[in-house]
Amino acid sequence: MPMKVLLINPPQNFYPGSDLPSGNLPLGLMYIAAVLEKKGHTVEILDAFMNEPSFWKTGDTLYIGMPYKRLKEEIQQRKPDIVGVANPFTSQVENAIKVCNIVKQVNPNILTIVGGPHVSAAPEEFLEESKNTDIVVIGEGEYTMLEIADCREKHTPLTRIHGIAYREKDVVVRTSPRPLIKNLDELPFPAYHLVDMAKYLNPKMIEYRSFKDRSISMITSRGCPFNCCFCSVNLHMGKSFRAHSVDYVVKHIEHVVNNFRVKTIFFEDDNLTLDTKRFEAICDKITEKGIRVKWETPNGVRVDCLTPSLLKKMKKSGCQSVFFGVESGDQQILDKVIDKSLKLKDVVKAAKACKEIGLKTGAFYIIGFPGETKENMLRTVDFALWLEKEYGVGIHMFVATPSIGTRLYEECIRKGYIKKDLSSRAFAEARQTGGLPLIETEDFTAVEVKNIATNAVNRHRRVNLINHLKNPRKTLEIAMSQPKIVAKFVKSLTQT
């Protein structure tokens, strides 16, 4: 008998100083749901973060989403055989554990499964912490979840399933790795019919939704062949770059535009333009078909994969902005510390090309790596401010955070550079510009890194505000939408 599977996106928690939350489609769950449905299983998706927004506080922690009491009622009502729980971030791991606890309260016989980047990097540790989680999915989840459902239906042993960890008589067993999905086109489109699309497409439906009207995220490729010390992508999606075909991507775009009147797509790929010819062909086909859609690259792209020809086609096909993954403005740090395989001259070249054709740009920077000095960090700040002044490249400054399983994490543990308890809260706060970094070395303290990052962001905001103040209409818009920033700017003028 086919299984009834409930896939849950848990509520989320936010700490003082956290960025404003933004809801988006639970794409991972939607892909898994589509594969399970195709093979005859009954599937439901419960997005407890977006579907029933409530706000409650425990101490200084703000929780957003469906209250856990309501979540328990939903599970009781739906009576699933299997519950799959998403855990995309280390900072949200406690919520995945809470969901599994609730499921077992409802019915101890329900099989609980958790997947995502965090548990893929530390499956044994997670199972030790979450006693009510039966199975952890390591890596891509579509076919693993299908095999688990089939195994549950047919009462066959879990040992046959690749890419999982589970308990056997209180001992954690980890099976052999699952091969990566080579042909992504064999996956059906995400199960859009299993979520309430109106709540994702209309930002007014959810008061904390910050995306644009009728916008969604889309992923057209997986994997990263590069070796940045801080990145955990290859722990979850592998180092092999795999991509949907041009036809698949364009048909997917047509599907969401025609069926849901999507206006903007955020391509969340880790290496969207790595295959330059492929992405040029996608842009060409969007243009040839006259598909009216705008799109952006919020995850960032590599500047050495952006040719003048591609940039022109990107803009013609609807691209509104391009974000660069720069990381450091010091070439020595890029080469010897981050291992980015990137030249700053290529960053400047891409920024100049974008400005010439009128494409809005932004760049991501990270400071506070072991091996950096304060002088190295200040070079990054100077480079970022110069790139903004010369070519209008927006600044997005972050501090290095040692994600579990990365080379950065291993180095920090080995050398004793992490000076505080690695709780989910510590990870969440460290990622914020105003939060306190986790890493301290012989060359810098956490407070020094925080101050450099904060000062860089404040300088960037002052420059932007001064430029906008030259335009009376823009000044009024800023004063109405960001009064705190204006007040801080005016106060800084009176103090100098």
Write out the H or E segment, with its range, that includes residue 380. helix 374-391
Kindly provide the residue ranges of all beta strands, DSSP E only, lying in 20-81, ordered along the sequence: 42-47, 54-58, 61-65
C-alpha angle 312-315-320 in degrees, rounded to nearest 5: 145
Q: Where are the beta strands (DSSP E) in 229-378?
A: 242-243, 264-267, 294-301, 319-327, 360-367
Kindly state the DSSP code that residue 439 receives in the 8-state scheme.
B
Tell me the three state secondary structure of residue 485.
helix
Paired sense of beta strands 82-86 and 61-65, if any = unpaired
Name 121's Cβ contacts closer than 8 Å, sequence gap at least 6: 232, 235, 236, 403, 404, 405, 406
CA dist 3 and 111 (Å) reads 11
Q: What is d(CA 286, CA 253) in angstroms, rounded to the nearest whole number?
A: 9
- In eight-state DSSP terms, residue 139 is S
Residue pLDDT tens, the chain, 496 long: 789 999 999 998 877 666 655 668 999 999 999 999 999 999 999 999 887 767 777 777 778 889 999 999 999 999 999 999 998 777 788 999 999 999 999 999 999 999 998 899 899 999 999 999 999 999 999 999 999 999 999 999 999 999 999 999 889 999 999 999 999 999 999 999 999 998 888 766 555 444 567 889 999 999 999 999 999 888 889 889 999 999 999 999 999 999 999 999 999 999 999 999 999 999 999 999 999 999 999 989 999 999 999 999 999 999 999 999 999 999 999 999 999 999 999 999 999 999 999 999 999 999 999 999 999 999 999 999 999 999 999 999 989 989 888 999 999 999 999 877 666 666 666 666 556 788 999 999 999 998 998 888 888 777 666 665 556 665 555 555 555 555 555 554 444 4
Domain 212-494 in CATH 3.20.20.10? The answer is no
Q: Where are the domains of the chain?
A: 4-174, 212-494
Q: Is the dihedral of CA 404, 406, 410, 412 positive or negative?
A: negative
What is the spatial distance between Cα 249 and Cα 107, in angstroms, rounded to a whole number? Answer: 41
Q: 4-174: CATH homologous superfamily?
A: Cobalamin-binding domain (3.40.50.280)
Helix axes 246-260, 276-289, angle to 10 degrees: 40
Amino acid at 425: R
- 212-494 matches 4-174 in CATH topology: no
